[in-house]
Amino acid sequence: MRAVVQRVSRGQVSVANECTGAIGRGLVVLLSVGKDDTDADLPVMVSKISGLRVFTDSAGKMNLNVQQVGGSVLLISQFTLHGDVRKGKRPSFMAAMAPEPARAAVERVATALRAEGIVVEEGVFGADMQVELVNDGPVTILIDTKRNF
């Protein structure tokens, strides 16, 4: 699994001009599931997202996670994170998981984050979505459960 995680002061996702998820302070997580991902990747990704210490403490250091600041997560599926442009300029998405098992995996991530007490809003899997956010910092972190980066 791969994720782009952005610390935000607010975020929103819409489909056909209708808001499907919105948060205030928290994390916008763009999540992609790879065809080689297994159930073992799920707890790794959930732990990284929930424990990511990117919010500042009273000393001004990035030392707090989303739960500690009372934040939320806006989780948006984005298979294009598995796009490969090493052999040209048109991305190949061969490394992305097929839609139905990927949808189930994204739902399991959302469910697991909620089980940790985190408020999770979501996009619509497979839809043409418009994402709006205010990146706070800016802070953007890449997570890959295979540790490719």
Task: Give catalytic residues, as residue numbers.
Answer: 78-80
C-alpha closest to that of 20 among 104, 122, 103, 132: 122
Angular region, 57: left φ>0, alpha ψ -120 to 50, beta rest: beta
Bridge pairing between strands 26-32 and 72-77: parallel
* Single-letter residue type at 72: S
Strand segments, DSSP code E, in 54-145 are 55-56, 62-64, 72-77, 119-122, 129-144
Q: Which residue has the tokens 């040209």?
A: 88
Q: Give the up-direction half-sphere exposure of residue 130: CA atoms within 13 A in the CB hemisphere.
A: 6
